[in-house]
Amino acid sequence: MKSDVVLDLENAGWPSLLVDSSGTVLRGNERASQLFKTSEQPMPAHLKEIWASENEATLEHFVAGLATPASASSSIKLKTFEGKPGSFSVAICPVEHEGKKNYLLQLLPELAPSAMRSTDAGISLKQKLDCALQLTRSVSLDFNNALTGILGHTTHILSKMEPAHPWRNSLLEVEKAASRAAEIANDLGTFSHQEKEVRTQATGNLNAVLQRCWQSFQENPPAEQPVQWTMQLERSLFTANFDEGKMQQAFMRILENAIQALRAPGRITIQTRNLELSEATQDRNVRLSAGAYVCAELTDNGCGIEPEVLPKIFEPFFTTKKGTTHRGLGLAWVYGIVTNHGGGVAVSSQPNVGTSVRVYLPAERRIVANDVASTKDLKGTETILIVDDEEVLLSMTHTILTSYGYKVLTAISGQKGLEQIKQHAEAIDLVITDMAMPSMGGREFVEKAHAIEPGLRIICTSGYVRPSVAAENERFYLQKPFTTQELLVKIKDVLMLETSSASQ
């Protein structure tokens, strides 16, 4: 994300501050200036200048927790220009600013009871806020549905397209733009929802993800030159929690960069290993605390990166591929995915020798199940019922699944879905249902579907509404928007479960 991120919020009705990891204020929007300005300066230089003594936690504790997922939202008190403390619900969003990781604080004023009673034509401020939140929720859900269609079709075409196709780079840019838009939609949903939830990451097999990446290039080999691949995967790999779809996208971007940089004869090595640190360690730009990690290292014998260029490679829109369609978002996107998982990306390179990219993810000292699979394993012959009130999503999902061998039934509503289950109960192996549907919502549909067929496997999808049945078991939930890969992996994961565990 570029340094003009705050400028995008100038029209926002709430103050926003961009701060670094020490609490220094880097920028702020006009609303923040109006609220926190002093006679000497239009913006506080540090959070300590506006931190109110009424806060239960210290400023040091708040700053130390900026990078902690659990601190994504909280309530704090800050001194306004009048010198009085004001209460704010603060939403914390990590952003890239001038090549460094900083934090965007969106400060939503908490209205006092007296303010709640203020009316305009008989409508209280609280009612107006509720209406605004409801509108935001509705926009977020519709936005996610639209993005699901865009991202699903785009990633489906990319999975079938040869790497040398002249339109591939343009489609990759569409995929990146849709993924960025999905993050914005998720932020809207988080802002609008009163019950804040922390999304848990599922246990994944990093070896399996890298094996699928390698298999993808085997099925569609690069046109530029042959590549000699070496796989050195740790057999007893530690367990890590991550989103398999997003991590696969990150590794694909790294490997695509490596292939484009290769010199004949081209060689790429993919290696995984466990890492146990008794004390904090530094690897280039990555600071690793003591603990267990899994490390994936991808090495090529390409042209390498000049020393003066190396520090800039994670900057958005920076690229060494001049005169091409590349926009320099690849490694910045990889960096964002990995750091959002609590990990880090280190890169070492020598000109005319090659480049090594090391991805670190926090892990548990527990061996992951060795179920390495290839992209061929994502195909199936089972019958799947898709229930969604958006025809474009029914069409998109039908196209993807039938191209991978599945038999597909569709239903435009929960009631139609129940009719399909009654008619084809013995044939249906899996149901995928949206949770936000008119007339009959997803939760009601799931309950009635299980009343008809108790052992039926059901995957719940949503742009934001997370049902309790999914919260109890993350394996039965798929976040919208999703890619082709994420959809296929989720389906395989659920189909492999025993029937007795599929009743949720």
* 3-state SS string for 160-220: HCCCCCCCHHHHHHHHHHHHHHHHHHHHHHHHHCCCCCCCCCCEECHHHHHHHHHHHHHHC
Mean of pLDDT values over 135-159:
74
Q: What is the pLDDT of residues 94-146, one digit of tens each?
A: 776 566 788 888 887 765 444 334 444 444 445 445 555 555 666 666 777 77
Say what the pTM is. Answer: 0.45
Do the beta carbons of residue 18 and residue 37 sit within 8 Å? no
Helix or strand run (H / E) with residue 336: helix 330-340
Q: Within a domain: residue 332?
A: yes
Instruction: Decide which of 80, 115, 150 is a domain's last residue.
Output: 115
Q: Domain range spanning residue 27?
A: 3-115
One domain, residues 286 and 385: no
CB 353 within 8 A of CB 376: no
Q: Same structural domain for residues 330 and 382? A: no
Of 73, 95, 115, the residue at which a domain comes to its end is 115
Specify whether 347 is located in the same domain as 419.
Answer: no
> How many Cα atoms within 13 Å fall on the side-chain side of residue 262?
23
Distance between CA 410 and CA 389 in Å, rounded? 10
187 is a domain residue: no
Is residue 87 situated within a structural domain?
Answer: yes
147, 176 in Cβ contact below 8 A?
Answer: no
Q: Are residues 282 and 393 in the same domain?
A: no
- Between helices 414-424 and 442-452, what is the axis angle to 10°? 20
On whether residue 132 sits in a domain, the answer given is no
- Regarding whether 426 and 401 lie in a shared domain, the answer is yes
Is the peptide bond prior to 481 cis by the omega test (within 30 degrees of 0)? yes
- The two tokens of residue 348 are 């070492």
> Average pLDDT, stretch 382-388?
95
Question: Which CATH number characterizes residue 47's domain?
Answer: 3.30.450.20
Around 431, how many Cα atoms within 13 Å sit in the side-chain half-sphere? 38
Where is pLDDT greater, at 391 or 127?
A: 391
| Per-residue pLDDT reduced to its tens digit, 46-72 | 999 999 888 888 898 888 888 764 444
Query: Is 135 contained in some domain?
Result: no
Residue 166 has pLDDT above 50, yes or no: yes
User: pLDDT band at residue 270, thresholds of 50, 70 and 90?
Assistant: very high
For residues 363 and 246, membership in a common domain is answered with yes
The answer on 339 and 242 residing in a single domain is: yes
How many separate domains does the chain show?
Answer: 3
Residue 292 forms part of a structural domain: yes
Q: Which of 58, 82, 115 is the last residue of a domain?
A: 115
pLDDT at position 303 over 70: yes
Strands 203-204 and 458-462: unpaired
For residues 227 and 92, membership in a common domain is answered with no
Q: What's the average model confidence in pLDDT over 12-37?
A: 83
Residues 357 and 385 in one domain: no
161 belongs to a structural domain: no
- Measuring CA to CA, how many Å separate 347 from each of 84, 303, 481? 48, 14, 30
Q: Is 39 among the domain residues?
A: yes
Query: Does residue 57 share a domain with residue 28?
Result: yes
